Structure 1
Amino acid sequence: MVPQRVSLITIGAFDLPALRLFYQQLGWAELDFSSDTYAVFNTAGVLLTLFPVSELADDAGVEIKQSAEIYNNVTLAINVETPELVDAAIAKIQEAGGKILRMPTEAFWGGRTSYFADPENNLWEVAWNPSSVFNDSGAMIKF
């Protein structure tokens, strides 16, 4: 059986220092075992890591077919506890240099949502879902 969990997400970085700086400017703190070639941010329940894309491809044994100019086919999400927090997060993301792709709007499913891209076009959603439930550490456990 495969455990049903996501423990760590790694974004392959084309320019690790610039991408690291963006996440630092969001106010995200790095863990002590980050290094010059690897950044680790602790989020609610999942570690987000940044690793040079060429080294990630070598490690996985694959060929790089993306570039920093192309949107990837994965969207990561930051879910928040109130609709106002969507707007506040997007304001901070814009201040840090994120590309706002969709300003905060009411969603057809009853929440509030917005999309942005980091400096290497990794897609993120910031969303409030009125039925979301978070645990004590801030991890969303159901909606």
Structure 2
Amino acid sequence: MEQRVHFITVATLDLDAARRFYVEGLGWTPTLDVPDEIVFFQLAPGVVLGLFDADAFLADIDAGSALAAAPSGFTLSHNVDSPEEVDRVLGQALDAGARIVKSGRQAAFGGYHGIFADPNEVLWEVAHNPGWRVADDGTVVLGPVEE
């Protein structure tokens, strides 16, 4: 198996609230929207986020009610160019209906970050990390910029 991910699919307890938050609140454009089932957003070349109605998600994976449908134990991260941009995005998310979990502040990794929860408790980290960048070939580079 190659080391890559194409779809990140999150079981979503309230798909309508999620759709309103991402489309109307954050201004995202769906790639595909199937009412009462799933909405997809392209995040990057070859990478899609799917917000899947929790009941449809459980039926799709044949789990019945054996698994909890609510997401936990992970964050999705959105990296920006400055601490000011972190605060701006956190404010935009708050205005769209997010709950601020951690306000913008200095981070242990040396940058600046904050965390919000969308209407279904999906956690998003918004970070400015001067040691994170994407090379021209699309490779993520972690660490100081070499001169």
- Shorter-chain TM-score tier: 0.7 to 0.9
Aligned residues of 2:11 and 2:69 also touching (Cα < 8 A): no
Larger Rg: 2
Distance change >3 Å, CA 81–CA 134, structure 1 → 2:
farther
- What corresponds to 2:16 in structure 1? 17
- What corresponds to 1:38 in structure 2? 38
Which residue type is aligned with residue 130 of structure 1?
Answer: P
Aligned residues of 1:66 and 1:72 also touching (Cα < 8 A): no
Matched, 1:26 2:29: no
Cα distance in 2 between the residues matched to 1:142 and 1:6: 17
Which of 40, 63, 68 in structure 2 is aligned with 1:65?
68
Which residue type is aligned with residue 61 of structure 2?
Answer: A
Matched, 1:49 2:50: yes
Instruction: Return the TM-score normalized by structure 1.
Output: 0.86
Which residue type is aligned with residue 126 of structure 2?
Answer: V
Which residue type is aligned with residue 126 of structure 1?
Answer: V
Percent identity, aligned pairs only?
Answer: 35
Which residue type is aligned with residue 109 of structure 1?
Answer: F
- Unpaired runs of 5+ in structure 2? 143-147
Residue 140 of structure 1, CA deviation: 7.3
Q: CA RMSD in A?
A: 1.8
Aligned residues between the structures: 136
Residue 43 of structure 1, CA deviation: 1.1
Residue 83 of structure 1, CA deviation: 2.0
Aligned residues of 2:105 and 2:112 also touching (Cα < 8 A): yes
Aligned residues of 2:13 and 2:120 also touching (Cα < 8 A): yes
Instruction: Return the TM-score normalized by structure 2.
Output: 0.83
- Unpaired runs of 5+ in structure 1? none
Aligned residues of 2:79 and 2:127 also touching (Cα < 8 A): yes
Report the secondary structure of 2:34's partner residue.
Answer: coil
Aligned residues of 2:54 and 2:69 also touching (Cα < 8 A): no
